[in-house]
Structure 1
Amino acid sequence: MRILVIDDNMALVANLLDHFERRGHVLDAAPDGEIGLQLVASHEYDLVVLDWMLPRREGPEILRMLREDMGSTVPVIMLTARAELVDKIAGFRAGADDYLTKPFALGELEARIEAIVQRTRGRAQPARLRVDSLVYDLQTLVIERAGRVVTLYPLCRRILEVLMRASPAAVPRERLEEALWGDRPPPKDALRAHMYALRRNVDAPGEPKLVHTLPRIGYRIGPAEDVDPHGP
């Protein structure tokens, strides 16, 4: 499994890294919410372990952004010292799949992670996004257009997912930048470069264009005849 731990307690993170990596898993760590959001946007994880009290953005806000703004379905376990029932309810309502309070046993956390990942992988109908001839299987990460496999690196896959979930509506540039980089301003023209790579791979020579730029608005994915040049 590949697991992301978002927690600013470096001693705890070190213990988790040691425990899970000795069992053959790969762990990434983020010391604050912004870095955590960026990692989820640019990598594929089987599960996220999320603290509540974090610098810059707290756990429930990160969960809301993952579920609502980014459309991410990655399983999330909240791992926090906040043990009141009202906190647990808030965590689940924000989108957590499980909630474990500190102090905790590593064995229990491991068992909960395995149960959630097994349940997620065992879904009978994997999520699939479809726009015209373009299909994105969110379970296998396979992207096809009219039977042709489309190969994209993680940031482009993230952009494609946001655009396909919003289709036929346009997605403002600011929303895409937030999905990829949080509230940290991206390098100049970074989004434009990623959009160029996305368009080059999705729209092969001779195929009708699906990826569209709407000046002063943002980007959109869908058949050309559905594009309103004046915006949505």
Structure 2
Amino acid sequence: MAAAPARILIVENDLTIAENLYAFLELKGFLPDAAYGGHAAVALLGDQHFDAMVLDIGLPGMDGYAVLQALQRRKQTIPVLMLTARSQLEDKLAAFSLGAQDYLVKPFALEELEARLRVLLGRARGASKDETLEFAGIEYDIGSASVTLYGQPLHLTHKSRAILEVFMRHPAELVSRRTLELALWADGSPSPEALRSQIHLLRKALLQRNFDGIQTVPGLGWKLVASARQP
């Protein structure tokens, strides 16, 4: 059974980064919310429950350290992943001393941020079950990154699995080029042929197991549908 979607608070004053994070985490099955300053973050944390927080340090008015201090004062615990351009050891030690559990320096890969978040959430939830996605004979265990097709193991590259995950979270729905680029590349702007090549690799791997369910919608994107060649 799929785990309940985790609520993630993104605290980031750079609107482009915040919007990209929001869209990416939503694609990955999380329930994100955003605050663009420390005071807004503390207010949201006081009114609502979140399973984890992605927190910048350089925030206007009330910085990330002050947010952590506010949580300490009211004895509120939440897994915190610091996301900041500050790479000095003293900055990291200060964040950890105030209760942060992880620290990621910009620029960063969206996939690494997701992986770190899942580790934090797994620790917080204890021995929770990993999420498994299922569609048309495909099963994808997110925790172990294992994929089976018609009950047999399917060996995919990291990016092929990332594309497949997006498709399986939106079965039979149109998935745009921009959506997939955001899931695969942190800056969302690879070479024009990069995504097409990755789609080809995934389609080839599936066709080798008699699955032809990736449909191209010219000029719009792709869909994952049930295969007409299922054995």
Which position in structure 2 is the counterpart of 1:66?
Answer: 24
Q: What corresponds to 1:215 in structure 2?
A: 218
TM alignment of 1:100-119, pairs within 5 A? 101-102=64-65, 104-107=94-97, 108-110=99-101, 116-119=121-124
In structure 1, the partner of 2:164 is: 160
Distance 1:93 1:203 in 2: 46
Q: Deviations over 1:25-83 (max 9, x none)?
A: xxxxxxxxxxxxxxxxxxxxxxx9x76244x7244x34422322x22549x9x9x9954
Choose which of 133, 137, 140 in structure 1 pairs with 2:137. Answer: 133
1:88 aligns with 2:42: yes
Is the CA contact 2:136–2:227 (under 8 Å) kept in the aligned structure 1? no
Q: Are 1:135 and 1:143, in contact at CA under 8 Å, matched by a contact in 2?
A: yes
* 1:209 aligned counterpart, secondary structure: coil
Structure 1 counterpart of 2:146: 142
- The 3-state SS of whatever aligns with 2:148 is strand
Deviation at 1:210, TM superposition (A): 2.1
In structure 2, the CA distance between the partners of 1:121 and 1:131, relative to structure 1 (3 Å rule), is: farther
Letter in 1 for 2:226: P
Q: How many residues align?
A: 169
Structure 2 length-normalised TM: 0.58
Q: Of residues 189, 203, 206 in structure 1, which corresponds to 2:207?
A: 203
How far 1:111 sits from its partner (Å)?
8.9
Could you tell me which amino acid in structure 1 is paired with residue 22 of structure 2? R
Instruction: Give, in angstroms, the shift of residue 98 of structure 1.
Output: 3.4
Secondary structure (helix, strand or coil) at the match of 2:172 reads coil
Shift of 1:145: 0.5
Residues 224 and 111 (structure 1), Cα distance of their counterparts in 2 relative to 1, 3 Å cut: closer
1:130 to partner: Cα distance: 0.9
Cα distance in 2, alignment partners of residues 178 and 81 from structure 1: 21
Question: What is the Cα-based RMSD across aligned positions, in Å?
Answer: 3.9
In 2, the alpha carbon distance for the partners of 1:99 and 1:185 equals: 23
Gaps spanning 5+ residues in structure 1: where?
1-47, 226-232
Q: 1:119 to 1:96 in 2, by over 3 A?
A: closer
Structure 1 residue matching 2:140: 3-state secondary structure = strand
- With over 3 angstroms needed to count, the CA separation of the structure-2 counterparts of 1:120 and 1:144, relative to structure 1, is farther
Secondary structure, aligned partner of 1:162:
helix
**SS of corresponding position for 1:219:** strand
Structure 1 residues 73 and 88: CA distance shift in structure 2, 3 A: same
User: Aligned partners of 2:50 and 2:166: how far apart in 1?
Assistant: 18
2:127 is matched with: 122
Q: What displacement does 1:99 show?
A: 6.7
Distance in 2 of aligned mates of 1:120 and 1:203: 38
Q: Deviations over 1:109-161 (max 9, x none)?
A: 2499986441346213x211111110111121110001221122221111111
TM superposition shift of 1:223: 1.6
Identical columns (%): 20
**Does the Cα contact within 8 Å between 1:63 and 1:96 map onto a contact in 2?**
no
